[in-house]
Chain A
Amino acid sequence: MAKDNVIVIGGGPCGIEVSRNLRDLGYTPILLEQQSELGGHLRLWDRLFPEGVEARKILKDLTSDLKGVKWFTDVNIESIHKSRKGYTVNVDTGMSFETKALVVTTGFKLFPAERKQEYGYNIYERVITNADLEQYFHTRKDPRIQNPKTIGFVHCVGSRDEKACNRQCSKVCCATAVKQASEIKELFPDAIVYCFYMDLRLFGRSYEDMYLTAQKQYGVRFIRGRVSEVSEDIDGKLFVKAEDTLLGKPMKMKLDLLVLMTGILPGESTTQLSEMLKINVGEDGFFTPRDTILEPCRAKDAGLFMAGACTGPKTIPETLSEARATAIQVHKYLSR
């Protein structure tokens, strides 16, 4: 049985699952996370589509069995040196780790909603993001959410948006919007909920059912068109202008709450490591694997692997599947 160290950079669900699987294959994974807790964005989410499973339960299951995984939090990568033997990773706590195989699972960051200035995030109080709403679902505390009667969701905030320098689809936001629209309708049954979308890109099993349930059971109103601008009236209500492209008409409405479905961008560590390790990135800033179809988990360089949202937006099940596949790829590489 092999006993090699394998370093995994990034302690979100992907990094955790890679580590667990490597541990099961007989390796000693060293998991490095820059935040003070493991879990990445999963820590900040309340429920996951399509069934509405609690995110914290998934995270608890993932982290409940880390025996044999050496994990470190509050760790920043200072430098990485590549040699014929493998990689040396130096971190800001003064520690240094040697490995023959390095796995990068640095994930994503959410598009900063304030960059779409016309939507007024951080300007108008009742404009929030999908992440803010997940926090509210968990804590039920947010002074911006006071029994709203009219609620809007804006899809594709910072995704598929050339002006925001982010052309790609973030893949998970449509499903998240449908999930959140249904959830908020459960909390506030009298509220009228609108979803403003360009296209609805819900592709997975049961997602269509989730979409139909949102319409039939919860009465969510889907409007094909983008919000053009948001302002505030004298009572603090949001004054929203949009276009209904199916009716071919401009719309104006007053809302009590507007939720911006912020898209997915490469994480800051992804950008940092792409420079350190000279990993190819696409125009979108995500890592480009050696072969997007046959070897999606391997970088060009030998011994360098990548998994999860650092190679593009993914759902949690996709991320976990890719994590398991990556562990097997690492094992094959180290056993060659």
Chain B
Amino acid sequence: MLYKGKQKIWSDYQKEIPDDHWFYVRSCIRQNFFPASEVTFLRILRDELGKDIYETPHHTTCGGIAYHQECIPQETQMTIIARQFALMTEAGYENYACSCITSFGLYCETLETWHEMPEVLERIRENLWKACRREFNIPKYLAHSSDLVYKFRNEIAERAKYKLVNRFTGEPLKVVEHIGCHYAKMFPSKGVGGAEYPYVLVGMAESWGGNVIDYPERRHCCGYGFRQYHVKANRGYSVSNTHKKFESMEPYHPDFIVTNCPGCPYFLDRWQYVIAEQTGKTYGGDGQGIPVLTYEEMAGLVLGYNPWDIGMQTHQIAVEPLLDKIGVEYDESKKYEGSGGKPLPEPEFPMNIRCC
């Protein structure tokens, strides 16, 4: 692999990301899958870096899950997005950041549709006014929240307590980066690094000491694929896609996977258990799986946050081997201790994959 060739592409696909003052919307499903990730994002941006990140409890879904399953028409979905933009406008912001990759793709698609077909934009303005008497401005800048963490990756590196380095060998950790399909595959110029060799997660991992693996099925879907999972009869497709990725990355012995999409970490994490149950095969060392992190979790670990505060115990695949490699200090006895010391329910342990 010729690193210089990738650098050339990365330099061609950079986007303007303002420093501050963002209106932030959360993801529908991330709040259930890995709820601490979004909290960690806000902690890093607000508390560590002193940025103004505004959020409102009045925002809703972007409609993406229904749209991609053809349950709602595009015009309805665009009106939902128009309402989100109205909330941004009312709050006095111009920069819009979303936590969800599918939302990001949908915002890009909607803005492009409005750009190409101004008459649709006018119709959506009318729809929104009729529905809830709101008006909106189009955001000046649109970013995915991983763009913001990428933007501040060097500031995070300066504050880092740990590096993505194996403390036993001194070698950089081998990182698989997995980008959500809706990040740049539809609009390459909207993603940092473009569609084929996205840089947004590579930039973070490298800045924090890791070494990113380029493996044959890198571009492949995590397996979620909306209808492939949500239609119960199709779930075999979902897990077989995930299986394909793990088979492809296996020879590289990755230390962990990092993702920037709501669905990807969930499916890459949970399906390892299913694959182990179905085939008896595991992909990490010593009968364990490969830990799958969100980029906020990766940043939080680097910054030295307590792994249980950033939600690492909500993963199917045990993260302790990774924490040990990095040298993160943690108290195993507090893994299932909730806020205020309240005990959380502890999961059962599976038969075919070791979870510490």
**How far apart are the CA atoms of A117 and B194 in the complex, in Å?**
10
A234 touching B251, Cβ below 8 Å:
yes
B2 touching A231, Cβ below 8 Å:
no
Residues of the A chain whose Cβ atoms lie less than 8 Å from the Cβ of B217: 231
Residues of the A chain whose Cβ atoms lie less than 8 Å from the Cβ of B9: 114, 117, 123
Residues of the A chain whose Cβ atoms lie less than 8 Å from the Cβ of B216: 231-233, 239
Whether A125 contacts B1 in the complex (CB less than 8 A), given A117-B194, A234-B251, comes out as yes
**How far apart are the CA atoms of A231 and B1 in the complex, in Å?**
9
Least CB separation from A116: chain B residue: B196
Query: Does A229 sit within 8 A of B, measured CB to CB?
Result: yes
Query: Does B246 sit within 8 A of A, measured CB to CB?
Result: no
A53 to chain B, nearest CB (A): 35
B residues 1-57 touching A (CB-CB < 8 Å)? 1-2, 4-6, 8-9
**How far apart are the CA atoms of A229 and B251 in the complex, in Å?**
20
B2 touching A229, Cβ below 8 Å:
no
Whether A125 contacts B252 in the complex (CB less than 8 A), given A114-B8, A118-B196, comes out as no
A residues 126-165 touching B (CB-CB < 8 Å)? none
Least CB separation from B213: chain A residue: A234
A-B contact count (CB 8 A): 42
Which of the four size classes fits the interface of chain A?
10 to 19
B1 touching A124, Cβ below 8 Å:
yes
Query: Does A245 sit within 8 A of B, measured CB to CB?
Result: no
A229 touching B219, Cβ below 8 Å:
yes
Residues of the B chain whose Cβ atoms lie less than 8 Å from the Cβ of A231: 214-219
**How far apart are the CA atoms of A234 and B196 in the complex, in Å?**
19
**How far apart are the CA atoms of A317 and B124 in the complex, in Å?**
59
Residues of the A chain whose Cβ atoms lie less than 8 Å from the Cβ of B1: 123-125, 232
* Contact flags B178-196 to A (C-beta < 8 A → 1, else 0): 0000000000000000111
B214 touching A232, Cβ below 8 Å:
yes
A212 to chain B, nearest CB (A): 35
Query: Does B197 sit within 8 A of A, measured CB to CB?
Result: yes
Least CB separation from B253: chain A residue: A234
Query: Does A217 sit within 8 A of B, measured CB to CB?
Result: no
* Contact flags B159-183 to A (C-beta < 8 A → 1, else 0): 0000000000000000000000000
Residues of the B chain whose Cβ atoms lie less than 8 Å from the Cβ of A123: 1-2, 5-6, 9, 197
A29 to chain B, nearest CB (A): 41
Residues of the A chain whose Cβ atoms lie less than 8 Å from the Cβ of B4: 122
Least CB separation from B1: chain A residue: A232
A54 to chain B, nearest CB (A): 32
User: Residue among B8, B216, B218, B252 with the most chain A CB within 10 A?
Assistant: B216
* Contact flags B242-257 to A (C-beta < 8 A → 1, else 0): 0000000001100000
A20 to chain B, nearest CB (A): 41
Least CB separation from A234: chain B residue: B251
Residues of the B chain whose Cβ atoms lie less than 8 Å from the Cβ of A125: 1-2
B residues 255-312 touching A (CB-CB < 8 Å)? none
B3 to chain A, nearest CB (A): 9
Residues of the B chain whose Cβ atoms lie less than 8 Å from the Cβ of A118: 196
* Contact flags A85-121 to B (C-beta < 8 A → 1, else 0): 0000000000000000000000000000010011001
Whether A117 contacts B2 in the complex (CB less than 8 A), given A231-B216, A231-B219, comes out as no
**How far apart are the CA atoms of A229 and B189 in the complex, in Å?**
19
**How far apart are the CA atoms of A143 and B252 in the complex, in Å?**
25
**How far apart are the CA atoms of A239 and B251 in the complex, in Å?**
14
A229 to chain B, nearest CB (A): 6
**How far apart are the CA atoms of A114 and B2 in the complex, in Å?**
12
Least CB separation from A240: chain B residue: B216
Residues of the B chain whose Cβ atoms lie less than 8 Å from the Cβ of A234: 215, 251-252
Instruction: Pick the residue among B5, B215, B251 that contacts A122 (CB under 8 A).
Output: B5
**How far apart are the CA atoms of A233 and B214 in the complex, in Å?**
8
* Contact flags A246-271 to B (C-beta < 8 A → 1, else 0): 00000000000000000000000000
**How far apart are the CA atoms of A123 and B6 in the complex, in Å?**
6
Residues of the A chain whose Cβ atoms lie less than 8 Å from the Cβ of B215: 231, 233-234
**How far apart are the CA atoms of A121 and B2 in the complex, in Å?**
9
A117 touching B197, Cβ below 8 Å:
yes
Residues of the A chain whose Cβ atoms lie less than 8 Å from the Cβ of B218: 231
**How far apart are the CA atoms of A124 and B194 in the complex, in Å?**
17
A122 touching B2, Cβ below 8 Å:
yes
A180 to chain B, nearest CB (A): 23
B74 to chain A, nearest CB (A): 23
Least CB separation from B244: chain A residue: A252
B140 to chain A, nearest CB (A): 28
A118 to chain B, nearest CB (A): 5
A residues 221-245 touching B (CB-CB < 8 Å)? 229, 231-234, 239
* Contact flags B305-322 to A (C-beta < 8 A → 1, else 0): 000000000000000000
Least CB separation from B4: chain A residue: A122
User: Residue among B2, B4, B252 with the most chain A CB within 10 A?
Assistant: B2
Task: Rank and list the top 10 A-B pairs by shortest CB-CB distance, nearest first.
Answer: A122-B5, A239-B216, A117-B196, A123-B5, A231-B216, A234-B251, A233-B216, A118-B196, A232-B1, A123-B2
| A–B pairs, 28, beta carbons within 8 Å | A114-B5, A114-B8, A114-B9, A117-B9, A118-B196, A121-B5, A122-B2, A122-B5, A122-B8, A123-B1, A123-B2, A123-B6, A123-B9, A124-B1, A125-B1, A125-B2, A231-B214, A231-B215, A231-B219, A232-B1, A232-B214, A232-B216, A233-B215, A233-B251, A234-B215, A234-B251, A234-B252, A239-B216
